[in-house]
Structure 1
């Protein structure tokens, strides 16, 4: 029996970048500015430059990024936000937290991203935003969504880019594709810290000002609160970790692209496995490498027996979650969402996945 592989190998990443990460963390320990220290501003400047966006505001998590974005846009009770039901719960959670209604639209069966062709039918006079999820690391059809929002006027496009930082769409980087982009630096993400963290991106100076105030309890200046806010700052130590990792991020993205393509090549001959599809005008940073099969439970059991780790992202669509059944509105059929939720599973994926380990995974799946 072969040794168990890592699903995501953060230990290998740390071993490679140990000196840089340790130096960055110790710099924070030396200066002692654990909240809003200089690394926070440095990170925001570098992330803004990376994405080509004027304003980057770091926050305490990817969930907080989405929540603060909605709050800054003034979205609340009576409003509707169109999104995908096939995503992590945070996407709908933040909509409900501001008192708005999540409106679920079905997904494409091959990318598992929201089907832009179904979005317009979901728009009502109450629609204030559309929140596409760049699922598994591939941006959704952002140009079509931006055009749709422009036709209707007062509709914001909030990219939930928690899984896609580093991906490109029509030669522009994820998080810089719409009114607002939000990402996560959860440790398992393509660019991760060693705790929780996230960031919000926008080109609108007024929106950026609102976001900055909301993340510090709605504070315009010390002890002067102009709006309702939250405690949403990113810790300086987490900013320092991301700064260190950012130095090798381009290399890691290239590795992800190469490993993802190698998976596709190795698996191309298995007609019982549906491979993920990447559109020609974008890239995928493979936050997860996700396949579809008919008899998932049996496949996962056999892979487990061969020490191949797997995960399912996501087994229960949001409209079927008990907390959201009565809070959401469903637009049209969600048959594709139901279909893919019963078939998807993810294989190990990270920049340090060696070719022989990948061969072992593919051989086990073929068997």
Structure 2
């Protein structure tokens, strides 16, 4: 059974997208075409930032941010224990040390109290320089940026917003991507604003940082790509993917409204029966995924197996917290119970602005029958 029917979206995109792609093919401007600049301007205006710089993918967007601020050996980067590895992986590749924090048990986002605790531990030990916090809009739910921003200011830390799942979401009237010193997003196909391949972007209000990232993402270019003034990387957003995203932006607000309607139906159906996500106060989630939390790993596995038997898909987002990853085994000295409980008990259910009410009813029936 196909719940997430991208064909429905493509039928809406086809007229606009076909014209754009035909123009790109005719002009053979596949890298750095005018559509890339148009998308960057439009996204900067949508998010509320001075600069948007497209790049190869969301991981590289974060890498560019870490590189631009000189994150490296001896630096501590604070990160929620429950997120995708890309949130902190580029910092580790540059030599920094990840310092994990627990999440809140209901919003699944970085816990401000745990963040303070981990910062104070690093400060007391004196082995690392506290440098940056990466706050993730987890599953599209905005982090607590007022509290986290104050913590960063109090401790002199850079704040990076990982808005890979947050495009279209908002916190206290401002859109995700507009928070922190710098923000990064992903256009992976499953994201709320996704292209038909890989893509990403960096958002900043700092003219100097924007210029530095523009250089870094094209091999550290100076006046041209053959005038290399620093060591950089190759991270460019393809013109065709920019065209896809421009066409999808025309649908974004309508899709966000529909996502709220779908979430509201799920909340009502599951109220009092199983834990549903709680959205951060004064916020709107983009609902990149809609995740339920079972009482135990055994109950989660039973529900997932029962759903599969009746043809209703599910997927775990994510099955292991970062502090338990082999890749980070040398950096962890404690456990984070909320992140661990989430990993054991979460399962995502079919969610899309194009899921029908009948399909939602099938999902609900499958879950409730298993419970």
Matches within 5 A, 1:77-156: 77-123=73-119, 124=122, 126-153=129-156, 155-156=157-158
1:292 aligns with 2:293: yes
CA-based RMSD: 1.2
Separation of aligned partners in 2, 1:9 and 1:189: 14
Which position in structure 2 is the counterpart of 1:360?
362
Q: CA separation in 1, counterparts of 2:281 and 2:116?
A: 24
More displaced 10-residue stretch of structure 1: 308-317 or 92-101 = 92-101
Q: Which residue of 1 aligns with 2:325?
A: 321
Contact 2:88–2:134 under 8 Å retained in 1: no
1:5, 1:307 within 8 Å by CA — same for their partners in 2?
Answer: no
Contact 1:56 1:201 in 2 (8 A): yes
Q: Which residue of 2 is the match for residue 342 of structure 1?
A: 344
Q: Paired residue for 1:185?
A: 187
In 2: Cα distance, 1:325 partner to 1:261 partner? 40
Alignment-derived partner of residue 278 in structure 1 = 279
Whether 2:305 is the aligned partner of 1:301: answer: yes
TM-score, length-scaled by structure 1:
0.95
Alignment of 1:224-235 (within 5 A): 224-235=227-238
Structure 2 contact 144–280 (Cα < 8 Å) conserved: no
Q: What is the aligned counterpart of 1:172 among 174, 178, 185?
A: 174
Contact 1:164/1:190 (8 A) holds in 2? yes
d(CA) in 1 for partners of 2:81, 2:25: 42
- Over 2 Å off, 4+ runs: none
Task: List gaps (5 residues or longer) in structure 1.
Answer: none
- Aligned mates of 2:358, 2:183 — CA distance in 1: 37
Instruction: Give 1:161's aligned residue.
Output: 163
Query: Are the aligned partners of 1:313 and 1:346 in contact in 2 as well (CA < 8 Å)?
Result: yes
Structure 1: distance between partners of 2:80 and 2:231: 28
Query: Taking structure 2 as the reference length, what is the TM-score of the superposition?
Result: 0.94
Contact 2:80 2:109 in 1 (8 A): yes
Structure 1 residue 93 displacement after superposition:
1.4
Whether contact under 8 Å (2:313, 2:349) holds in the other structure is yes
Shift of 1:262: 1.3
Match of residue 15, structure 1, among 11, 16, 40? 11
Q: Deviations over 1:191-233 (max 9, x none)?
A: 0000000110011111111111111011122122222211011
Deviations 1:81-127 (A, max 9, x none): 00012111111211211111111000111111110111122224511
Query: Which piece of structure 1 moves more, 102-111 or 116-125?
Result: 116-125
Q: Give structure 2 stretches of 5+ with no counterpart.
A: 124-128
Secondary structure of 2:327's aligned partner: coil
Alignment partner, residue 241 of structure 2: 238
Measure, in 2, the Cα distance between the counterparts of 1:161 and 1:232: 18
Shift of 1:10: 1.8
Asked if 1 retains the 8 angstrom alpha-carbon contact of 2:85 and 2:322, the reply is yes
What corresponds to 1:261 in structure 2? 264
Equivalent residues of 1:101, 1:329 under 8 A apart: no
Distance 1:25 1:321 in 2: 41
1:221-252 per-residue CA deviation (whole Å, 9 max, x = no partner) reads 21222222110111111011000111111101
Q: Residue in 1 aligned with 2:39?
A: 43
Distance 1:9 1:221 in 2: 45
1:58 paired with 2:54, answer yes
Distance in 2, Cα, partners of 1:128 & 1:226: 26
Structure 2 equivalent of residue 70 of structure 1: 66
Distance in 1, matches of 2:222 and 2:268, equals 53
Task: Specify the SS of the correspondent of 1:159.
Answer: strand
